[in-house]
Structure 1
Amino acid sequence: MRNPFLHGVGGVLSADIAVPEHERELRFYSKVLTTGSTPLWQDDLTNNQGTPVIGLGERSPEYEALPLQWMPHIQVSDVAASADRTLELGGQELMHAKGDDGLSQWAVLVDPAGAAFGVIPAVDDDPDNSSHSNPIGCISWLSLVASDVSSICEFYEQVVGWSAAPADKQDGFDMRRPDGVAAAEIYPENDENEGIPSVWILSLPVGDFEESLRQVREGGGEIIKEETEAGHAVIKDPVGVYIALQDGN
């Protein structure tokens, strides 16, 4: 089973980014994501039930140190331990928020290959995980291209509690939560993914895949890789950020 959008350790609760040209970026994503007769996303980029899943923030001085990448927020059992382990394994810590009691609340980390991600405390109070099995406007998949797949898999095993299992294609690995559900895939650099950098690629479902691709081109973005039969495309937005679209039908 594959589903990144689940509560609990290893689940991906949300994602965000801080971008320049914020108004232009908001217009771009609003048009690209809200296609189809019953759009899966709203104009403010919450899903069609009003739940905030992705956040598009302005690149203020506070966030200038963050890379221009969509960063998934992965749930972990201990934020401080994940941050410490990241540094021990050759990664970086960009931000680390703590409460008045000194306890870690969240952190922004970077793996040894340069992919940024957030860690947050695990949320275990979802009464009905099955409600997220339909593409109502949730992150449908995560993928990462790596030059050294085995070491990057080991990094995430130790930092967020995933376990690696061989995937169905491209000599990649599914990264599974402790309950066995796959939350992401890490696969090697090759000719099939040429031009895709080593950053976390979020796949977001859309209501009208072809119309969304048209809006990408019209809005100043670029289609990097398109898999027509699979209804999947990796795109680059107007400021150079990579993300993927998935046919939600």
Structure 2
Amino acid sequence: MALAVFFGTSGAVVPYARAADTLPPIVSPPVSSVLPGKIVYAQLTTPDLAQAKTFYGSLLGWTFRDVRVSRGHYAQAMAGGHNVAGFVEQPLPSGDRPRHEPVWLPFISTADTDALARAAQGWGGKILFSPKDIPGLGREAIIADPQGGIFVAIRSASGDPADTDTPTVQGEWIWSALLTGIPANAAGFYQKLFSYQVEGGQDESGESRYVLESQNYDRATVNPLPPRLPASAPARWMNFVQVDSVGAAAEKVSQLGGRVLVEPHLDRNDSMIAIVADPAGAVFGIMEWHVPAVAGEAR
């Protein structure tokens, strides 16, 4: 049995460690709470771990702890003393580079990984990595929704981090959005899996958008694909991290060898955001949110 992670757009699952390896827990010290539907963690697969650590450490102030695994290399990313992400090093497959890209995966909490995986298949999803116990992390499965959006369903071995009213600070994840061709269908799929309450609305262009809510907290939005992408493009999750200044962070992204894909701008809720890519091409969002708000409130 091997631990595994989805890497790229071709549907490949690549092993990076054996079951004897123990990865750092999501919550330390452990707690008993389970908050289904909450996005509790993220994992980056990258071809160059050293480069990624330099980039994210310099940009966000993350610190890292290398973790010994049987295959490849793994590092734990920390922000403010909290475990925020796992970094997995995997080389790009030779001869097929256009079909593969480094990727950030969101981890969504569930009370029962196996039942959720079965339900996902029943509603048109695809299991990329069958439910397995990942020592230290918990029981996880990697799933593609019917439109291709990839996420990890996890029953954390250490419980889920509590919701809090404390404002998010630089380096902490603040929001997640699913970009997808048919938002209404995607919202329905995730509602069935995680029992989300779903609120819908339209933006100024008439496009439908949805908010996914659990435990009375807004967890994520479901948005249409940006116009620059064809309607047939696969869905993708976008994770946003809090920064003190989106403008300054965007400049630093370029200085550190990354790219700014969407320039800093105000979103429809007057938060400053930008979409960027790290030097290896992994895409994520940066957000500047200064107004104190209940954690999880729609951004």
TM-score where L is the length of structure 2: 0.67
Does residue 165 (structure 1) correspond to residue 202 (structure 2)? The answer is: no
Does residue 204 (structure 1) correspond to residue 241 (structure 2)? The answer is: yes
Q: Deviations over 1:115-170 (max 9, x none)?
A: 21111126896796325543364310101111111111111111222232124735
Give SS of 2:82's match. Answer: coil
Does residue 23 (structure 1) correspond to residue 50 (structure 2)? The answer is: yes
1:187 alignment counterpart: 223
1:69 alignment counterpart: 103
Give SS of 1:238's match. Answer: coil
2:78 alignment counterpart: 46
Give how far 1:97 is off.
4.2
Structure of higher RCO (CA pairs closer than 8 Å, 6+ residues apart) = 1
> Which of these residues, 118, 136, 147, is aligned with residue 181 of structure 2?
147
Inter-partner Cα distance in structure 2 for 1:55 and 1:146:
25
Letter in 2 for 1:238: P
Does residue 244 (structure 1) correspond to residue 285 (structure 2)? The answer is: yes
Give yes or no for contact 1:163–1:176 (8 Å, CA) kept in 2.
yes
> Which of these residues, 88, 92, 95, is aligned with residue 57 of structure 1?
88
Give SS of 1:243's match. Answer: strand
Give yes or no for contact 1:7–1:13 (8 Å, CA) kept in 2.
no
Give how far 1:10 is off.
1.0
Identity %: 21
Letter in 2 for 1:52: N
Give how far 1:198 is off.
2.5
Larger Rg: 2
2:211 alignment counterpart: 174
RMSD of aligned Cα (Å)? 3.1
Inter-partner Cα distance in structure 2 for 1:147 and 1:52:
32
2:250 alignment counterpart: 213
Give yes or no for contact 1:69–1:116 (8 Å, CA) kept in 2.
no
Runs of 4+ in 1 over 4 A off after TM superposition: 122-128, 193-197
2:128 alignment counterpart: 94
The worse-fitting range, judged by mean Cα deviation, of 137-146 and 86-95 is 86-95
Inter-partner Cα distance in structure 1 for 2:160 and 2:129:
27
| Structure 2 unaligned residues grouped into runs of 5+ | 1-32, 66-76, 93-99, 291-299
| Structure 1 unaligned residues grouped into runs of 5+ | 1-5, 35-40
Cα distance 1:137–1:32, how it changes in 2: closer, same or farther (>3 A)?
closer
Give how far 1:194 is off.
5.0
The worse-fitting range, judged by mean Cα deviation, of 80-89 and 113-122 is 113-122
Inter-partner Cα distance in structure 1 for 2:209 and 2:116:
24
The worse-fitting range, judged by mean Cα deviation, of 66-75 and 13-22 is 66-75
Cα distance 1:183–1:106, how it changes in 2: closer, same or farther (>3 A)?
same
Give SS of 1:53's match. Answer: strand
1:3 alignment counterpart: none
TM-score where L is the length of structure 1: 0.79
